[in-house]
């Protein structure tokens, strides 16, 4: 039998000045969701069932940007997206533009298992969710007071730019952004056009290999704060934000446009397959060589039970566990 392993994340790009109590809250949520996965794996659950269950837990908690607590569009609404992939046969399912489905990752699973397609979006995805009897809620369920305030700051910062790496230091910002701009000037970090002190992590995800050596990955997000309605990021795109095969399973997070351009998740598997690199070396290579000035991170497991992660920005909410008893939750290097 193979050794099982699990890795999870709650987004890359963390404000170095994030208050201690918020750091501890995030780590508690990660630890709880990680334990859900560990318990399922110990009970013999499949990798596919585990990644769906863990991401559902992350979607339900408003601590991260997926499901409840998702980032808001310019119109103040929520448009969520998710994907799931089974390393056995590389089956996959994905959804975008979901606005009422309580757990988008489960809708992505239904697209994979119960439809002839791999990807549904907007009205078609919503209609399919109702056909399948998935739980739906009003769009207001996903909106938090904190994110309403973050949207206001993002609009004042004019944050979503065609080139989201343009520094905001010279931009006209109101007094509410003074502290954020000061932080930007001091560390130079911008994520998706937002000073790191305003930017909220984009994504949650999970990658698993089970005791039979089968892999799976799932990723879910509310996208960018102040994004244009209809914007689609990397999270639902197989090969960009999510990938699973016999070599590994990968879930990515960060600047979606950079992840899309680099086909980051698939590239980890490709360098393992074609260059013969072990998992951590493959992750390090892709984070260093493939992002072209973009900021991102990823988690990964191999088909033999290794876990790995990498990021080129200030921190990534993450956790991992292996069958031999190792368990870790962290944010920084």
| Per-residue pLDDT tens over the stretch 115-126 | 999 999 999 999
**Residue range(s) defining the domain that contains residue 22:** 5-139+200-330
Q: How many domains does the chain have?
A: 1
In a domain, 121, yes or no: yes
Q: Residue 310's beta-bridge partner residues?
A: 298
Find out whether 232 is annotated in a ligand binding site. yes
Whether the per-residue pLDDT at 196 is higher than 80: the answer is: no
In a domain, 100, yes or no: yes
Contact 210, 193 (CB under 8 A): no
3-class state of residue 331 by DSSP: coil
Find out whether 255 is annotated in a ligand binding site. yes
Whether the per-residue pLDDT at 272 is higher than 60: the answer is: yes
In a domain, 104, yes or no: yes
Find out whether 234 is annotated in a ligand binding site. yes
| The predicted structure's pLDDT at residue 207 | 98
pLDDT in tens, 72-85: 999 999 999 999 99
- Mean of the pLDDT values across residues 292-299? 93
- Mean of the pLDDT values across residues 10-21? 89
| The predicted structure's pLDDT at residue 197 | 53
Of the ranges 12-16, 31-35, 87-91, 286-290, which one carries the lowest mean pLDDT score? 12-16
pTM: 0.90
Q: d(Cα 226, Cα 158) in Å, to the nearest integer?
A: 9
In a domain, 272, yes or no: yes
| The predicted structure's pLDDT at residue 1 | 65
In a domain, 130, yes or no: yes
Of the ranges 162-176, 255-269, 295-309, which one carries the lowest mean pLDDT score? 162-176
Find out whether 233 is annotated in a ligand binding site. yes
In a domain, 31, yes or no: yes
Q: Residue 242's beta-bridge partner residues?
A: 238, 251
Whether the per-residue pLDDT at 176 is higher than 70: the answer is: no
- Mean of the pLDDT values across residues 267-294? 96
Strand ordering across the sheet containing 316-322: 119-121, 91-98, 80-86, 215-221, 203-209, 5-12, 316-322, 327-330
| The predicted structure's pLDDT at residue 77 | 95
Domain CATH number, residue 87? 3.60.20.30
- Mean of the pLDDT values across residues 182-211? 66
Catalytic positions, written as ranges: 203
| The predicted structure's pLDDT at residue 154 | 81
In a domain, 303, yes or no: yes
């Amino acid at each position: 039998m193979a050794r099982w392993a699990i890795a999870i994340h709650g987004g890359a790009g963390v404000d170095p000045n994030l208050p201690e109590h918020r750091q501890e809250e995030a780590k508690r949520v990660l630890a709880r969701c990680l334990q859900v996965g560990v318990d399922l794996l110990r009970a013999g659950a499949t990798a596919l069932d585990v990644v769906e269950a863990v991401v559902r837990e992350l979607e339900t908690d408003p601590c991260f940007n997926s499901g409840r607590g998702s980032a808001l569009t310019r119109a103040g609404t929520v448009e969520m997206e998710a994907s799931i992939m089974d390393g056995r046969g590389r089956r996959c399912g994905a959804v975008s533009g979901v606005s009422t489905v309580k757990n988008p990752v489960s809708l992505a699973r239904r697209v994979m298992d119960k439809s002839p397609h791999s990807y549904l979006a907007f009205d078609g995805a919503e209609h399919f969710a109702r056909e399948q009897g998935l739980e739906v809620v009003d769009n207001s369920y996903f909106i938090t007071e904190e994110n309403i305030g973050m949207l206001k700051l993002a609009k004042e910062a004019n944050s979503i730019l065609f080139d989201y790496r343009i520094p905001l230091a010279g931009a006209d910002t109101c007094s509410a952004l003074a502290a954020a701009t000061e932080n930007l000037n001091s560390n130079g970090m911008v994520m998706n056009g937002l000073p790191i002190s305003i930017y909220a992590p984009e994504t949650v995800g999970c990658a698993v290999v089970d005791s039979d050596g089968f892999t799976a990955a799932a990723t879910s997000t509310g996208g960018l704060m102040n994004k244009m309605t209809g914007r689609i990021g990397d999270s639902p795109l197989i090969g960009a934000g999510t990938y699973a095969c016999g070599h590994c399973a990968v879930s990515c997070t960060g600047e979606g446009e950079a992840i899309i351009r680099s086909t980051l998740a698939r590239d980890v598997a490709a360098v393992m397959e074609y260059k013969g690199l072990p998992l951590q070396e493959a992750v390090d290579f892709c984070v260093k060589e493939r992002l072209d000035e973009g900021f991102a991170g990823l988690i990964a497991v191999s088909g033999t039970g290794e876990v790995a992660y990498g990021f080129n920005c200030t921190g990534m909410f993450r956790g991992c566990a292996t069958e031999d008893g190792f368990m870790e939750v962290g944010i920084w290097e």
